[in-house]
Structure 1
Amino acid sequence: MKQLIRAALPVLAVILFAACNNNPEAAKSENTTDSMTHEGHDHSHMSENSAPAAAAVQLKDDKLNAVYQHYVHLTTALINGDEASAKIASNAIEAGAATVDGGNALGTSAAKITAAKDIEAQRIAYADLSNNFISLVKKSGLNSGALYVDYCPMAMESKGAYWLSANEEVKNPYFGEKMMTCGEVKETLK
């Protein structure tokens, strides 16, 4: 049963990712007024084209760019302490890394996150994954947007650890809510 679940999880992650952004033209044709308000929330101050900052980032390597989208999901999951979402994102990174030149170490790191027993073990493996991913992004370069190489000196038992963010504001995936803003921007990639 475990083997079936492990085999199905990457396929499910890819299907979900593809289904969530399958037809952008259909989404544009929906009534924007209805999509800007729901259950007492007024989003009228937001434009139809409002999107996370990560959407503005475009890596030169298309295959690595696809993996980057999963890296954003993984980072967000760790910031929020969401172990299950972190496993799904890391599984997708592992699958995508197999298509990226020089992505073997990235895939190995992602597999460690998927196999991790708890959120703390995921965060430890994330440090290695981030180092590998930062190296690949630097080799690829960006077509548009900017990425920030963030650093938390207290992560990994005060040895320090890096991660990538599309936002200049620090949100720490190594400590989540405990120390959300611990860290600093060390480098900007453009």
Structure 2
Amino acid sequence: MKELIKSGISILSILLLIACGNNENKKKEIPQNKKTSVAITKESEVKINDDLLNAIYSQYTHLTVALTQGNIAEAKLAANAIEAGAQKISANSNLVTSAGAIVSAPDIEKQRVAYSQLSNEMVGLLKKAGMADAELYVHYCPMAFDNKGAVWISTTKEVRNPYFGEKMLKCGEVKETIK
């Protein structure tokens, strides 16, 4: 009887270790799947003629996703990187100022106001620099800021509104293509 219990405990221990190992593998796989998305893959295809602006645009995309998801902390992180990169672009204090306003904003709504200014500035810079590869889309939401409207830039024609996030994710249209 004792031998039966000992072998039963040994078998249960082995099964438990195997089961725990399988759960750990699943936990490791989930974050990797979340990190890989179509938007990240598409971003790697975009090439702006100005390398510094290319790096800033990469962070701009991060900022847009953060605002779309209502993530204040991620928006601040991306805006901080934009601010640092924008300081290297001569005669472009508006980009630095807008990014700084996002970093210091106490809430998502104030971040979105500063993001609108930053987006307007980015549209001008991207048009001036031009695209080496692919194209970008200037989206417009007519309902943003009490129906005053606002723009943002995306690599896809699909509308994912950073001004309203989940409330009105599909509100907007493509107004222009930057080539």
TM-score interval (norm. to shorter): 0.7 to 0.9
One-letter code aligned to 2:29: H
In the TM superposition, what is the alpha-carbon distance from 1:119 to its structure 2 partner? 0.5
Change over 3 Å in CA distance of 1:157–1:95 after alignment to 2: same
Question: Which residue in the other structure is 1:81 paired with?
Answer: 70
Residue 163 of structure 1 aligns to a residue in which SS? strand
| TM-score, normalised with respect to structure 1 | 0.74
Residue 174 of structure 2 aligns to a residue in which SS? strand
The question of 1:142 aligning with 2:131 is answered: yes
Question: Which residue in the other structure is 1:124 paired with?
Answer: 113
Distance in 2 between the 1:52 and 1:157 partners? 34
Question: Which residue in the other structure is 1:58 paired with?
Answer: 47
Count residues in correspondence.
150
Question: Which residue in the other structure is 1:161 paired with?
Answer: 150
The question of 1:71 aligning with 2:60 is answered: yes
| TM-score, normalised with respect to structure 2 | 0.78
* Structure 1 residues not aligned, in runs of 5+: 1-33
The question of 1:95 aligning with 2:84 is answered: yes
Question: Which residue in the other structure is 2:29 paired with?
Answer: 38
**1:16-63: CA deviations, max 9, x gaps?**
xxxxxxxxxxxxxxxxxx9xx935x999xx9xx995212111100111
Distance in 1 between the 2:175 and 2:88 partners? 29
Question: Which residue in the other structure is 2:8 paired with?
Answer: none
- Which protein has the bigger helix share? 2
Runs of 4+ in 1 over 4 A off after TM superposition: none
Distance in 2 between the 1:52 and 1:170 partners? 17
Seq. identity, %: 51
Residue 52 of structure 1 aligns to a residue in which SS? helix
**Superposition RMSD in Å:** 2.3
